[in-house]
Amino acid sequence: MARRERCYLSAALSCTLLVSCLLFSAVGRALGRPYMDELFHLPQAQRYCRGRFDQWDPMITTPPGLYLVSVGVVKPAVWIFGWSEHVVCSIGMLRFVNLLFSVGNFYLLYLLLCKIQHRNKAVTGVQRILSALTLAVFPTLYFFTFLYYTETGSVFFTLFAYLMCLDGNHKTSALLGFCGIMFRQTNVVWAAFCAGSVLAQKVTEAWKTELQKKKEERLPYLKGPVSELRKSLRFLLGYVGSAKNLRTLVLLTWPYVLLVSLFAAFVVFNGGVAVGDRSSHEACLHFPQLFYFFSFTLFFSFPHLISPKKVRTFLQSAWKRRARYVALTAVSLFLVWKFTYVHKYLLADNRHYTFYVWKRVFERYSVVKYLLVPGYVFAGWSIAESLKSKSTFWNLMFAVCVAAGTVPQRLFEFRYFILPYVIYRLNIPVPSVPKLLCEFGLYVAINFVTFYLFLHKTFRWPNSEDVQRFMW
């Protein structure tokens, strides 16, 4: 790293930390009591802080990773500074743990961008730092930095595991993946993603060798996305079907295989994925979650995904391959018709933005959910186009992981899209500085509105004296 780039990175980290500390102070002053899910998380962490590891709130559905790490971070202050247990295990101290995770996320995002984009010599240090800064303040993630939720720590350990995977430290990566699962069970998907990255790299190398042989032998090669996908799948099945190749892949990915196997054993033993209240977290085939993710990604990455040229290219592609797009639209309409679910939490809580999205968009007119399908198709196409620099096998693996991480979720919740979005954004070509500034400006504006509403536009429910706040 050049000296100038180090200075820029340090300045960006310092400024972000300063702003985060000011926001943290404002949230702490306005919110001196546990709010929303903190009503379960904070008391549980305080029990652990007092050494009561045998007590567990049955309403908590995630593993105890957040509480264990929090105790490990704040408890030494009792011995080092002589602080009382009341201070060390206070709401403010426990929330501060997520602020530390947020700083770590910024640095990990920068390191991942350096690692993923290292072959592109045209990318400057300013672009890398600005990309990392933009993702560090990604609104849906950044908001939970200031509450005692699992999101920030979950992203930290998953990104750390991904970085170690790219460095070839697969045992460390699997261990960090386990830490991520201890924050949120669905992170097992991204541990599998790390294994899939290794597999995709090996298969891509073999596929390139195969294509070179065909070129030298002057064998015909059919072009086109569908024919290429079909040939790639056939090659993948053949490659994995070889005992020698399979043995090589297992030796490379065995830490992830062991981790996923242990998680599967936990699910069988536990009787489900959720730790506590499983009645409200039942898995289902909620295929429209993919469409919601496409829309979410299109909105937050619109400087990179939407332009007159891209819209024109999409329309030309749709006209040229009319039958294919008609079939794709028909399948999407069927999935929306038969597999749309509305969770009871979505309709019961008017503090979340998803409540208003659902009420004012999807429920206003029943036909709206079908009219949005062409937009979903465009969003999916645009996302696929932005990942053309990645190999076919990487794209297949990423698509499977996104589906596995979103489709089983019955609840429409923006938080479920954080990790797939961040990993997607890390792997597209680094945008130009003007586009990055546009994206950063969008995120800052959304964060400003979000915190303004959260801190100043409070309201009360008719049957409760508690102050309610809008949030993601």
What the block records as the tokens of 172 is 């460390």
Lowest mean pLDDT among 35-44, 54-63, 185-194: 54-63
- How is 182-227 classified by DSSP, letter by letter? TT-GGGHHHHHHHHHHHHHHHHHHHHHHHHHHHHHTT-----SHHH
pLDDT digit string (tens) for 374-432? 999 999 999 999 999 898 899 999 999 999 999 999 999 999 999 999 999 999 999 99
Look up residue 168 and give its DSSP letter.
T
| Residues 6 or more apart whose Cβ sits within 8 Å of residue 20 | 99, 102, 103, 145, 146
195 or 366, higher pLDDT: 195
3-state secondary structure of 409: coil
Structural contact between residues 134 and 436, judged by C-beta atoms closer than 8 angstroms = yes
Structural contact between residues 192 and 401, judged by C-beta atoms closer than 8 angstroms = yes
Tell me how far CA of residue 333 lies from CA of 235, 314, 400, in angstroms.
Answer: 31, 19, 21
E-only strand ranges, 270-359? none
Q: What angle do CA 188, 113, 401 make, to 5 degrees?
A: 25
Q: What is the pLDDT of residue 217?
A: 57
Summary count for the chain: helices (H), strands (E): 24, 2
Res. 228: pLDDT tops 80? no
Mean pLDDT of the 277-294 span: 87
Lowest mean pLDDT among 103-107, 133-137, 268-272, 324-328: 268-272
Exposed, middle or buried, 192 (CB in 10 Å: 0-12/13-18/19+)?
A: buried
- How is 426-447 classified by DSSP, letter by letter? HHSPPPPHHHHHHHHHHHHHHH
All structural domains of the chain with their residue ranges:
1-217+244-279, 282-431
Q: What is the rounded distance in angstroms from the CA atom of residue 43 to the CA atom of residue 20?
A: 24
**Torsion angle of alpha carbons 241, 244, 247, 248, nearest 10°?**
-110
Question: Helices 170-181 and 65-74 sit at what angle, rounded to 10 degrees?
Answer: 100
Res. 218: pLDDT tops 60? no
For the chain, percent of residues with pLDDT exceeding 90 = 69
Q: How many Cβ atoms are within 10 Å of 50's Cβ, its own excluded?
A: 12
Q: What is the pLDDT of residue 315?
A: 94
Q: Which long-range contacts (CB under 8 A, 24 or more apart) does 230-237 make?
A: 232/207, 232/392, 232/393, 232/396, 233/396, 235/203, 235/206, 235/207, 235/210, 236/203, 236/393, 236/396
What the block records as the tokens of 240 is 């994995």
Longest CA–CA separation in the chain, Å: 78
pLDDT digit string (tens) for 332-390? 999 999 999 998 888 888 999 999 999 998 988 889 999 999 999 999 999 999 999 89
Structural contact between residues 24 and 146, judged by C-beta atoms closer than 8 angstroms = yes
Structural contact between residues 47 and 150, judged by C-beta atoms closer than 8 angstroms = no
Q: What is the rounded distance in angstroms from the CA atom of residue 205 to the CA atom of residue 193?
A: 18
What the block records as the tokens of 124 is 């400057």
Res. 50: pLDDT tops 90? no
pLDDT digit string (tens) for 114-143? 999 887 778 888 999 999 999 999 999 999
* pTM, rounded to two decimals: 0.93
pLDDT digit string (tens) for 98-110? 999 999 999 999 9
- Helix (H) / strand (E) element for 348: namely helix 344-348
Supply the mean pLDDT for the chain. 90
Lowest mean pLDDT among 139-148, 210-219, 463-472: 210-219
Structural contact between residues 66 and 183, judged by C-beta atoms closer than 8 angstroms = yes
